[in-house]
């Protein structure tokens, strides 16, 4: 349980930082923050498609998609997603990525 908790803390610390850094560097690839199976599972879930693209999406896109998994609606006046929404999204992403990895290896 301690290892899982540390994993979530690491991701949660990186995403809010990158939530603000995406304004400075919006075209930065998410590959440095998310593993390959994480961003592929995220992309396919959000776009409802069975196959991901060849290249990694941008950090800005991934933060928004993770927030959507956490319940963020992204309406015109909603602003940026908060830590709680990102936390929920990371938890869902972890489950999706685990399943993605299992299915990819079979």
pLDDT at res. 12: 55
Phi–psi pair at 58, nearest 5 degrees: -75, 160
* pLDDT tens-digit readout, 8-22: 555 655 555 555 555
Residues 6+ apart with CB under 8 A from 37: 97, 100, 101, 104
Chain CA centroid to CA 94, Å: 9
Where are the domains positioned within the chain?
2-105
pLDDT at res. 34: 86
Residue with tokens 């603000």: 20
pLDDT at res. 8: 56
pTM for this predicted structure: 0.79
Q: Count CB neighbours of 90 within 10 A.
A: 21
Q: What is the CATH number of domain 2-105?
A: 1.10.740.10
* pLDDT tens-digit readout, 85-102: 988 999 999 999 999 999
* pLDDT tens-digit readout, 32-88: 788 999 999 999 999 999 999 999 998 889 889 999 999 999 899 988 888 889 889
């Amino acid at each position: 349980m301690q290892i899982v908790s540390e994993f979530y803390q690491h991701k949660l610390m990186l995403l809010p930082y990158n939530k603000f850094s995406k304004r400075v560097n919006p075209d930065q690839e998410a590959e440095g923050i998310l593993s390959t199976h994480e961003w592929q599972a995220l992309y396919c879930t959000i776009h409802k498609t069975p196959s991901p693209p060849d290249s990694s999406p941008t950090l800005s896109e991934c933060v928004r998609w993770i927030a959507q998994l956490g319940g963020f609606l992204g309406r015109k006046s909603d602003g940026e997603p908060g830590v709680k929404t990102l936390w929920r999204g990371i938890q869902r992403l972890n489950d999706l990525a685990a399943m993605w990895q299992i299915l990819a290896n079979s």
